[in-house]
Amino acid sequence: MDIKKLQQLVIDALEDVKGQDIKAYDSTGLTDLFDRVLIATGTSNRHTKALAASVRDKVKQGGGEIVSVEGEETGEWVLVDLGDAIVHIMQPGIRIYYNLEELWGAKPVVLKSAKRSGPARASAPQESLESKAPAKKTARKTAAKKAAAPGTKRAAASVPRKAPRKAAPRKTTSKAAASVPAKRTKKRATT
């Protein structure tokens, strides 16, 4: 089977089951074992298993060969070996930790799909999921930079900030000390 046809079958199978952040890389100059590395993210163990099953079924229907499927027992990282292509289906935390894009991402492949709206886009490595800052923090930083422009003395004070949290008063007695009865001592009468 032609590598482009195999790649398209895999991408369609991943998109059918809502695979996220699908990337494809050309690995011809890096290894002789396979020509493509495809990476996708699943949201849970069940989702990654469903993505792998979809890839396996779609490739079989298209006349391709499935060499092996690894990792379906746990579902955190499922690898589907198609001979000329390797498909890594991972959960987000595993994908960030192993960062396969850095290893295989030298030559991104342009992904085309009938299901995507708009023109085809390049599958270049993007910033990792953990480095994306929440919108509120970024907006506040941008406002602070604009407010601190040269020539404005008190502009930085106009940037809204969260009020500091007040600490609750602490009790000095602990539960362990309160639960132990106090010792009573008898005074001896001295005669």
pLDDT of residue 164: 55
Mean pLDDT of 30-39: 91
Radius of gyration of the chain from its Cα atoms, rounded to whole angstroms: 29
pLDDT of residue 122: 39
> Are the CB atoms for 58 and 9 separated by under 8 Å?
yes
What is the distance between the alpha carbons of residues 29 and 34, in angstroms, rounded to a whole number? Answer: 10
127-177 pLDDT, tens digit per residue, is: 444 444 444 444 444 444 444 445 444 444 444 455 555 555 555 555 554
First to last CA, the chain: 111
pLDDT at 124 over 50: no
Domains and CATH numbers, the chain: 3-131 (3.30.460.10)
> Are the CB atoms for 51 and 19 separated by under 8 Å?
yes
pLDDT at 187 over 80: no
pLDDT of residue 77: 95
Backbone angles phi, psi at 77, to 5 degrees: -145, 110
Mean pLDDT of the chain: 74
Between 32 and 45, the higher pLDDT residue: 45
6-28 pLDDT, tens digit per residue, is: 999 999 999 999 999 999 999 88
Residues in the chain: 191
Reduce the DSSP state of residue 125 to 3 states and report it: coil
Mean pLDDT of 72-90: 93
